[in-house]
Amino acid sequence: MGCAKPPNERESKIMVKVTIEINDVVHDADVDPRLLLCDFLRHDVRLTGTHVGCEQGSCGACTVLFDELPVRSCTMLAVQADGHAVRTVESLARDGGLSKLQQSFTDCHALQCGFCTPGMLMTLTPLVESGQRLSDAEIREAISGNLCRCTGYQQIVDATRHALDG
């Protein structure tokens, strides 16, 4: 006779219907209510550009735009995105061309291993798209929640400045 699984090993039988606009495409899905938004994006929608590092809201690698504001997708559930719009790093390049910020990252050598890059880009993109003028100190403040293990922060600031001024 088998033993009942402890509660944390039981599979949830409850699935929740969600409708989420992702990169201008509407996705209808049935999701486990415990599913993280980052896992939904990577595993269900197959948008693997969103990286997962710490899974506890510390590193910023998983940053996406939620209704055009940067959020850490490892600290949100997919069900919380129901009825909302999400943009991932895959939305940035259009018609075969890099976004202005992506091109600046390339030109200014603002990535080394590239693991933090999607999160950096999604944190900085609203600032670049808004066209506002920012000091280097304000750029550093904007990315203060995004960790780069390769520590290439100066080039990231330079690339952002280049995109803002370009």
Closest separation in Å from C-beta 134 to ligand FES: 20
**Candidate ranges 3-11, 94-102, 142-150, 157-165; the one touching ligand FES (CB under 6 A):** 142-150
Q: Which is nearer to ligand FES, 132 or 154 (CB)?
A: 154
Interface characters, 5-34, with ligand FES (x: CB under 6 A): ------------------------------
> How distant is the alpha carbon of residue 56 from its chain centre?
14
Closest to 73 in 3D by CA, of 94, 54, 92: 54
Write each residue from 47 to 66 as x if it is in contact with ligand FES (CB under 6 A), else as -, in one continuous string: -----xxxx-xxxxxx----
Pairing status of strand 69-72 against strand 25-31: unpaired
By beta-carbon proximity to ligand FES, the closer residue of 11 and 118 is 118
Question: Should residue 124 be labelled a site residue for ligand FES when binding is judged by CB under 6 A?
Answer: no
Nearest to 156 by CA among 93, 107, 111: 111
Strand order, beta sheet including 85-87:
25-31, 16-22, 85-87, 63-66, 69-72
Smallest distance from ligand FES to CB 147, Å: 7
Which positions from 143 to 162 touch ligand FES by CB under 6 A, shown as an x/- string? -----xxx-x----------
Q: Is 121 in the site for ligand FES (CB under 6 A)?
A: no
Q: Is 66 helix (H, G, I), strand (E, B) or coil?
A: strand
Q: How many CB atoms lie within 10 A of CB 65?
A: 21
Of the candidates 50, 51, 5, the one whose C-alpha atom is nearest the C-alpha of residue 23 is 50
Binding residues for ligand FES (CB under 6 A)? 52-55, 57-62, 72, 74, 111-117, 148-150, 152
